Chain A
Amino acid sequence: MRIGVFVCHCGTNIGGTVDSHQVAEEAKQFPHVAYSTDYLYTCSEPGQQEIQQAIKEHNLDGVVVAACSPIMHENTFRRTIERAGLNRYMFEMANIREHCSWIGEDKEANTRKAIELVRMAVAKVANNVHLHPSYFDVNKRVLVIGAGVAGMQAALDCAEGGLDVVLVEKKSSIGGRMAQLDKTFPTVDCSICILGPKMVDVGQHDKIKLYTYSEIEDISGYVGNYTVKIRRKATYVDWAKCTGCGLCMEKCPSKKAFDYHNEGVAYTTAINIPFPQAIPKKARIDPKYCRQFTKGKCGVCAKVCPVGAINYEMEDEIITEEVGAIIVATGYGLMNIEELGEYGAGRYPDVITGIQYERLLNASGPTQGHIVRPSDGEEPKRIVFISCAGSRDLSLGRPYCSNFCCMYIAKQAILTRDHIPNSDVYVFYIDIRAPGKGYEEFVRRAQEEYGAQYIRGRVSRVYPRGRHMIVKGVDTLLGTQVEVDADLVVLATAATCAPGAEELAEKLRISYDGYGFYIESHPKLRPVETNTSGIFLAGACQGPKDIPASVGQGSAAASKVLALFSKDKLESDPQIAQVDESRCIGCLKCAETCPFGAIEERELRDGRIVARVIETVCQGCGLCTATCPPGAIQLQQFTDNQIIAEVEALCQAWKERSSG
């Protein structure tokens, strides 16, 4: 075997604390090494050309690159050697950056370690075999979970691209948070006016199959072939019959049901259509408040419904759909304000949240767009906004920025002065984060044109005094304590992950961070992919994001799916487990350990039971290999022989060092 070794400097990233040249020189002594050199940037075009040239000139049949993490560039270099005619699996990477140069400052020790890592990689490549991917069919349908603005955009883009879309939304209408907003920054255009038509498009598109009031029950399969079980929750109204006439709402005697769309600022009826522009415009019964359910008698809606749509006996239904890719767009939640004891939220009616304030500003909201104090229904004259209520607060475990609050506070300040021109508006802030296009100008407008008074400093306490709320804080620019006498206090509460985000992630087998936001494959280079192939992210489920960013990401996720589906067949990674049937004793311990359910039982013609790996399901984790008592199941590219060869190379190096 003829192996080539290429040691990278990565500028000073590696070169600074590893003597790359010496590593390349030492590598020349290793068995099978026919060529060894070092290079400033191996991943650059000339760097890759040099590899290809060396393969030809020196007749190489295996390549080791000592550089960064394989997560970064393994695929890059595999393609490089493939272009030069080698099998892409005759390649190994020694990670002398993340595992070596970046973690130690002792150049001599680092160089020694780098040499050992290279020596192991060479030993491994000498035992590599040619592997070939297989191909499988793709089901070109896509599932979108969550129908906020991001999910809707992704669904529409996919549908326009010719794909069949299954859109699953937990609430009884699509639209997400944006449907609750009044106007949107930085253009101050009416939120539902720009969202409404999109909602209609989604509702009417013949390529979008919409399941509202539904949740994901279970997901199995792999990229190209997922099977999804969807729970359609009982609405107690037959939506095939319901015309959305609203008669039931008029007559329903239970009028104190919690109004989710209005964030509890108002009440609704137990049977309700959440808002006039709802898609689909169908009624649903909230059994928590329905007298038929709580008291066992009422039945008014069933009596008044002209089409006989009410069905108190309705049960949840499980539906199965087959798709090839999934876009997750489940958005965000908002912190429970009662966690903020110092602001008295939840105790004092005149301390409300930003999203509640949106509902008060909204012309189709419970007050027809009149700003009133919840305590007495009067128009407030002095309104204080508090930013970062729970965000950027380590003591509450939320050190991150909620991203859109600075902007929506500026918007709400402007709208407040529009609605109540003689009002005083104060904004307490830590610092203003307005980096989007036109954003800084927008905040300035709130301050200069609309006279919102910005006070830099945190608020320590909000408490009632008579009919007013006292907001006590510090002005860190003046260096003094301030107290503002307010009629209404609006908290920009922290954005959190969507409720249930972690459970959904477990079902999807995607990762999430400590706060429950989903993690992208690479923060810079693969921002809408997840580490599970075929699953993509859009919108605020990945972290707090405003509408422009959510829509952009929705489109990006859709384009990723379209690109994935542009091929009729997908390549499967051959680095999976393989069973040596002659050695398998059929104990199926492997099947028990496999977390992906990738191993099934198979009966040979002679009646013997053996294990069989379902190629497309296997993720190549190698758990089965470690479990199998006779060592019959081996992970291709990481066989026992290959790993032992690496360990031997390492021991050899230590032996030589201790004797010499």
Chain B
Amino acid sequence: MKGDRYAYFPGCSQKGTAVEYGISSRKVAEALGVELVEIEDWSCCGATPAHTVDRLLSGALAARNLATAEKMGLATLVTPCPACLVASKNALELAQDDESLKELNELLDLPFKAEIQAKSLLQIIFEEVGVDALAQKVKKPLKGMRLAPYYGCLLTRPPERAQFDDPENPISIDRILEALGAEVPDFPFKTECCGAAFGLPKRDMVLTLSGKILDMAQQIGADGIVLACSLCQQNLDLRQGQINSHLGTNFEIPIFYITQMIGLAFGFSSKEMGLDRHAVHPDKLLKKWEEKLKE
């Protein structure tokens, strides 16, 4: 563990729809001795819509945050959100080309050197903290919880951009959950798409795709799904009711952020981890777990 300080980029969702992801990320990082220094005056990274409109402009949106972090003298930008990560990595990739770097710098009001790295918080926890160190900090092992690890389509792909884990059969969340004491079954749909940002323009599609993921989780007898993307969480959790009425199912599967599960195992309360903010309440599972812990 390098004990480094990282430039923390929460991104819009950690301040809005996924507040609990942001809260749990900060608490867990602190518990692990990972120092997250929030980037000053950060702005939206552009995420999904910007790059479909103008590659250079979307690059500049993400580059502004990267440049600020560089100015703060930090070597790695860390974000919990895979979409923010891809946006940052795209900007860094764009800046590899001298011509584009010059254009980016013309658009920004501060110098961008593109020497900084970008990683997800998951990657930092998995690669730099490591599962062994994680296991040592566990106070309340996730005994008796059978959790499906879900990565979505963005976290490890495209592989040449993500440079993290296996693109088709990632294992980082699996290994982390195992270290926390949970039971982790093979989840065949771990990289299937949830429908992403089509929730507004094409809701049917999201309901069908996310429905399939929930269905698979149910088939393998999972008590919950653990993920690392706020959009996936929203589609699977917030829309679970819509999915049920669309497909005629009655899923009731709690959807957790990986940081929340780490936090629970570290002894934080479910409220501290923001579990009360979820649409599908994990009460039943938590009760079962508490009982198991008493055994």
Q: Contacts A347-B186, A395-B159 given: A465-B219 contact, CB under 8 Å?
A: yes
> Would you call B169 and A341 a contact (CB within 8 A)?
yes
Most buried by A among B169, B170, B216: B169
In the bound complex, residues from chain B placing their C-beta under 8 Å from that of A464 are 188
Return the CB mask of B171-213 against A: 1 if under 8 Å, else 0. 0000000000000001011011000000000000000000000
Q: Contacts A395-B159, A465-B219 given: A342-B189 contact, CB under 8 Å?
A: no
| Chain B CB within 8 A of A312 CB | no
| Chain B CB within 8 A of A463 CB | yes
> Would you call A461 and B169 a contact (CB within 8 A)?
no
In the bound complex, residues from chain A placing their C-beta under 8 Å from that of B169 are 341-342, 344, 347
Q: How large is the interface on A (under 10, 10 to 19, 20 to 34, 35 or more residues)?
A: 10 to 19
| Chain A CB within 8 A of B168 CB | yes
> Would you call B219 and A342 a contact (CB within 8 A)?
no
Interchain nearest-CB distance for B228 vs A (Å): 18
| Chain B CB within 8 A of A10 CB | no
> Would you call A463 and B168 a contact (CB within 8 A)?
no
In the bound complex, residues from chain A placing their C-beta under 8 Å from that of B191 are 342
Interchain nearest-CB distance for A201 vs B (Å): 46
Partner of A463, one of B167, B170, B188: B188
Which residues from 385 to 402 on chain A have a C-beta closer than 8 Å to any C-beta of chain B? 395
A461 vs B186: C-alpha distance when bound (angstroms): 14
Partner of A461, one of B159, B170, B188: B188
| Chain A CB within 8 A of B166 CB | yes
| Chain B CB within 8 A of A340 CB | yes
Residue of A nearest to B170 (CB): A341
A348 vs B220: C-alpha distance when bound (angstroms): 14
Which residues from 329 to 358 on chain A have a C-beta closer than 8 Å to any C-beta of chain B? 340-342, 344, 347-348
> Would you call A342 and B168 a contact (CB within 8 A)?
yes
> Would you call B168 and A341 a contact (CB within 8 A)?
yes
Q: Contacts A395-B159, A465-B219 given: A341-B166 contact, CB under 8 Å?
A: yes
A395 vs B216: C-alpha distance when bound (angstroms): 27
Interchain nearest-CB distance for A353 vs B (Å): 17
Interface size on B, residues (CB 8 A): 13
Which residues from 299 to 347 on chain A have a C-beta closer than 8 Å to any C-beta of chain B? 340-342, 344, 347
Q: Contacts A395-B159, A465-B219 given: A341-B188 contact, CB under 8 Å?
A: no
Which residues from 54 to 86 on chain B have a C-beta closer than 8 Å to any C-beta of chain A? none
Interchain nearest-CB distance for B210 vs A (Å): 16
In the bound complex, residues from chain B placing their C-beta under 8 Å from that of A465 are 219
Return the CB mask of A459-501 against B: 1 if under 8 Å, else 0. 0010111100000000000000000000000000000000000
Chain A contact residues, majority secondary structure: mixed
Residue of A nearest to B186 (CB): A347
Interchain nearest-CB distance for B204 vs A (Å): 16
> Would you call B166 and A463 a contact (CB within 8 A)?
no
Which residues from 146 to 171 on chain B have a C-beta closer than 8 Å to any C-beta of chain A? 159, 166-170
Most buried by B among A341, A344, A464, A465: A341
In the bound complex, residues from chain B placing their C-beta under 8 Å from that of A395 are 159
Residue of B nearest to A340 (CB): B168
In the bound complex, residues from chain A placing their C-beta under 8 Å from that of B219 are 465-466
Residue of A nearest to B160 (CB): A395
Interchain nearest-CB distance for A591 vs B (Å): 46
Interchain nearest-CB distance for B195 vs A (Å): 15
In the bound complex, residues from chain A placing their C-beta under 8 Å from that of B192 are 461
> Would you call B188 and A344 a contact (CB within 8 A)?
yes
In the bound complex, residues from chain B placing their C-beta under 8 Å from that of A341 are 166-170
Residue of B nearest to A464 (CB): B188
In the bound complex, residues from chain A placing their C-beta under 8 Å from that of B189 are 463
In the bound complex, residues from chain B placing their C-beta under 8 Å from that of A344 are 169, 188
A387 vs B92: C-alpha distance when bound (angstroms): 37
In the bound complex, residues from chain B placing their C-beta under 8 Å from that of A347 are 169, 186
A101 vs B230: C-alpha distance when bound (angstroms): 59
Return the CB mask of A240-280 against B: 1 if under 8 Å, else 0. 00000000000000000000000000000000000000000
In the bound complex, residues from chain A placing their C-beta under 8 Å from that of B188 are 344, 461, 463-464
Interchain nearest-CB distance for B10 vs A (Å): 31
A348 vs B219: C-alpha distance when bound (angstroms): 16
Interchain nearest-CB distance for A210 vs B (Å): 43
Interchain nearest-CB distance for B152 vs A (Å): 14
Interchain nearest-CB distance for A292 vs B (Å): 35
Interchain nearest-CB distance for B112 vs A (Å): 30
In the bound complex, residues from chain A placing their C-beta under 8 Å from that of B170 are 341
In the bound complex, residues from chain B placing their C-beta under 8 Å from that of A340 are 168
Residue of B nearest to A343 (CB): B168
Which residues from 346 to 388 on chain A have a C-beta closer than 8 Å to any C-beta of chain B? 347-348
A395 vs B169: C-alpha distance when bound (angstroms): 15
Interchain nearest-CB distance for B198 vs A (Å): 17
Residue of B nearest to A344 (CB): B188
A357 vs B191: C-alpha distance when bound (angstroms): 28
Interchain nearest-CB distance for B105 vs A (Å): 33
Residue of A nearest to B219 (CB): A465
Interchain nearest-CB distance for A344 vs B (Å): 7
A274 vs B167: C-alpha distance when bound (angstroms): 37
A337 vs B169: C-alpha distance when bound (angstroms): 12
Interchain nearest-CB distance for A343 vs B (Å): 8
A466 vs B219: C-alpha distance when bound (angstroms): 8
A461 vs B168: C-alpha distance when bound (angstroms): 9
A341 vs B192: C-alpha distance when bound (angstroms): 12
Interchain nearest-CB distance for B259 vs A (Å): 25
Residue of A nearest to B189 (CB): A463
Interchain nearest-CB distance for A480 vs B (Å): 15
Residue of A nearest to B220 (CB): A464
Interchain nearest-CB distance for A375 vs B (Å): 13
A380 vs B242: C-alpha distance when bound (angstroms): 39
In the bound complex, residues from chain A placing their C-beta under 8 Å from that of B167 are 341
Residue of A nearest to B166 (CB): A341
Interchain nearest-CB distance for B193 vs A (Å): 11
A341 vs B190: C-alpha distance when bound (angstroms): 11
Residue of A nearest to B192 (CB): A461
Interchain nearest-CB distance for A347 vs B (Å): 6
A344 vs B219: C-alpha distance when bound (angstroms): 17
Interchain nearest-CB distance for A341 vs B (Å): 3
A342 vs B159: C-alpha distance when bound (angstroms): 14
Most buried by A among B167, B168, B186, B188: B188
In the bound complex, residues from chain B placing their C-beta under 8 Å from that of A466 are 219
Interchain nearest-CB distance for B49 vs A (Å): 26
Interchain nearest-CB distance for B218 vs A (Å): 12
A340 vs B169: C-alpha distance when bound (angstroms): 8
In the bound complex, residues from chain B placing their C-beta under 8 Å from that of A342 are 168-169, 191
Residue of B nearest to A395 (CB): B159
A355 vs B99: C-alpha distance when bound (angstroms): 51
A342 vs B190: C-alpha distance when bound (angstroms): 10
Residue of B nearest to A463 (CB): B188
A203 vs B128: C-alpha distance when bound (angstroms): 56
A466 vs B221: C-alpha distance when bound (angstroms): 11
Interchain nearest-CB distance for A367 vs B (Å): 26
A463 vs B217: C-alpha distance when bound (angstroms): 13
Interchain nearest-CB distance for B134 vs A (Å): 23
A344 vs B191: C-alpha distance when bound (angstroms): 12
A249 vs B172: C-alpha distance when bound (angstroms): 43
Return the CB mask of A204-229 against B: 1 if under 8 Å, else 0. 00000000000000000000000000
Residue of A nearest to B190 (CB): A341
Interchain nearest-CB distance for A610 vs B (Å): 55
Q: List 17 A-B contacts (CB under 8 A).
A: A341-B166, A341-B167, A341-B168, A341-B169, A341-B170, A342-B168, A342-B169, A342-B191, A344-B169, A347-B169, A347-B186, A395-B159, A461-B188, A461-B192, A463-B189, A463-B216, A464-B188
| Beyond known contacts A341-B167, A342-B169, A464-B188: 9 more, CB 8 A cutoff | A341-B166, A341-B169, A341-B170, A344-B169, A344-B188, A347-B169, A348-B186, A461-B188, A461-B192
Residues of B near any A CB (own CB < 8 A): 159, 166-170, 186, 188-189, 191-192, 216, 219
Residues of A near any B CB (own CB < 8 A): 340-342, 344, 347-348, 395, 461, 463-466
Leading 8 A-B pairs by shortest Cβ distance: A341-B169, A341-B168, A463-B188, A342-B168, A341-B166, A347-B186, A464-B188, A344-B188
